[in-house]
Amino acid sequence: MVAHRGASAEEPENTLAAFERAVEAGADVVEFDVRMTADDVAVVLHDPTVDRTTPGTGAIRDLSLREARALGIPTLDEVLTLLSGRIAVDIEIKNIPGEPDFDAEREVAVEATLAALEATAFVGQVILSSFNPFSIARSLVLAPDVPTGLLTEPTTDPRAALRFAAEHGHSWILPFVERVVEAGPDLPQETHEAGLLLGTWITDDPATAVALMRGGVDAVATNDPVAILTARREAFGH
């Protein structure tokens, strides 16, 4: 059970409060997003701009660490320090073509994330995931022992993602939930036979989450970990 951007149904997404609440609730994994400031510091923020989730405006890549801190945006080091030894993490690298902070030449967010994991001596399981296959490919080159996950858009066929991920050495495929449901009950077994694990994003519906778990999906991401964990306990006793 993956807490998507923390317990974001209860606390502001990608904040220390949301991550703390996810740990308290008993989530298995916390998922969050990494972007870079103007002075090349890794921070935790979903959007390329700060407009939606903070009182500020503009692209995070144009703001300094001091300016990001003033808006309440946590650094990656702060998040890893909070969560180390307490919960697994799925770190999504945000480096998307067409967005204002897209880095086509160098995967600086990947480099910064791997450096932060080492600098904080993070204790726990880690997955680096991205919609950008070049980002997770770079991660495998720099840190082949860190598992990687291929996120795919709502229009992408999970079996196409499976073939690609298997060919390129990734550990997880992470398709959109409706595509997983449409792919039918054989997809988890096919994924496992290929040597990979299957996660999905996102559902806040307890019945859907339990059905996915019963069907063999390895990880289900949700904004509402309390509701999904309650349903899981009722269904499985844990």
Q: Residue 143: left if φ>0, alpha if ψ -120 to 50, beta else—which one?
A: beta
CA distances from residue 150 to 12, 128, 196, 198 in whole angstroms, order as listed: 26, 9, 11, 10
Distance CA 5, CA 91 (A): 10
List the chain pLDDT tens, one digit each, 238 residues.
999 999 999 999 999 999 999 999 999 999 999 999 999 999 999 999 999 999 999 999 999 999 999 999 999 999 999 999 999 999 999 999 999 999 988 899 999 999 999 999 999 999 999 999 999 999 999 999 999 999 999 999 999 999 999 999 999 999 999 999 999 999 999 999 999 999 999 999 999 999 999 999 999 999 999 999 999 999 999 8
Domain that holds residue 73: 2-236
For 91, the 3-state DSSP assignment is: strand
pLDDT at position 35, please? 98
Counting the structural domains of the chain, the total is: 1
Determine whether 5 is exposed, middle or buried from the number of CB atoms within 10 Å of its CB (0-12, 13-18, 19+): buried
* Tokens coding 137: 């490919």
Distance CA 110, CA 105 (A): 12
For 63, the 3-state DSSP assignment is: coil
pLDDT at position 104, please? 86
pLDDT at position 227, please? 97
Residues marked active site are found at: 4, 46
pLDDT at position 66, please? 98
Look at the block and give the residue holding tokens 């009182």: 55
Give every CB contact of residue 188 below 8 A, 6+ residues apart in sequence.
198, 215, 216, 217, 218
| 18 contacts 11 by C-beta, under 8 angstroms | yes
Distance CA 187, CA 182 (A): 10
Sign of CA dihedral 229, 19, 28, 34: positive
CATH number of the structural domain spanning residue 29? 3.20.20.190
